[in-house]
Chains A and B, each alone.
Chain A
Amino acid sequence: KAGVTQTPRYLIKTRGQQVTLSCSPISGHRSVSWYQQTPGQGLQFLFEYFSETQRNKGNFPGRFSGRQFSNSRSEMNVSTLELGDSALYLCASSLTVVSAGGGGANVLTFGAGSRLTVL
């Protein structure tokens, strides 16, 4: 069973440019989440998509956006890149969505990440 696939794995951009990262979830997984990982801030939640709808968004500026397609593949875009956007961007997919109050839970499977360097 193929895992979560992220492309590209590495990329270098300059300030002011924009970037689009792609994520293919595990077959059958309908929820896709994105996280930013940096040495200083650790892992921070960006947003989560389910059935092409953004269900939850973290505390990031509007320059960070995403979308999900009908085949559950997802893209995230960062516009007007800043030096501080240099990070490992992780995508995770899960099979079901958790209802508020707990019980069952999403178990996230992560991809290898896209490492973005902004110069």
Chain B
Amino acid sequence: AQSVSQHNHHVILSEAASLELGCNYSYGGTVNLFWYVQYPGQHLQLLLKYFSGDPLVKGIKGFEAEFIKSKFSFNLRKPSVQWSDTAEYFCAVNNQAGTALIFGKGTTLSVSS
């Protein structure tokens, strides 16, 4: 069965620090990959997505992610975090039928000012 693993449950950073959140998936076929963010008190929003092409994708608010097929990874990065990036981050992959998302357990990011 498909699954998504997010390595870090809780990450604590100071403002201006660099961020990398790990995500690995288990599925050998064609995948579509996503990162969603859930800010405190808000609903899930799409940060970025990868369908095909350039494995380095850029999303909103300065986030980017790199798809490494050989490592089954889709790590999220941001060069310099802000206090407003405090949120829960979810990595997800389409299921084989393409009609549902398989989510990782999420990573809580806390940024101190």
Instruction: Report how far A14 CA is from B101 CA in the complex, Å.
Output: 30
* B100:A107 contact, CB within 8 angstroms: no
* B29:A106 contact, CB within 8 angstroms: no
A97 contacts which chain B residues (CB < 8 A)? 98-99
**Most chain A CB atoms below 10 A, which of B42, B43, B49, B102:** B43
A62 contacts which chain B residues (CB < 8 A)? none
**Most chain B CB atoms below 10 A, which of A33, A45, A111:** A45
Instruction: Report how far A85 CA is from B27 CA in the complex, Å.
Output: 29
Say which one of B17-25, B74-82, B103-111 lies at the interface with A.
B103-111
Counting chain A residues whose Cβ lies within 8 A of the other chain, the interface size class is 20 to 34
B32 contacts which chain A residues (CB < 8 A)? 98, 102, 105
B46 at the interface (CB under 8 A from A): yes
A48 contacts which chain B residues (CB < 8 A)? 99-100
**Most chain B CB atoms below 10 A, which of A42, A92, A113:** A42
A44 contacts which chain B residues (CB < 8 A)? 103
| CB pairs A–B below 8 angstroms (19 shown) | A33-B100, A35-B103, A44-B103, A56-B99, A97-B98, A98-B94, A98-B99, A100-B98, A101-B30, A102-B29, A102-B32, A102-B51, A102-B98, A105-B32, A105-B94, A106-B94, A107-B34, A107-B46, A111-B43
List the 9 closest pairs (A to B, CB-CB), nearest first.
Answer: A98-B98, A102-B30, A105-B32, A43-B103, A110-B44, A56-B99, A45-B100, A42-B105, A112-B43
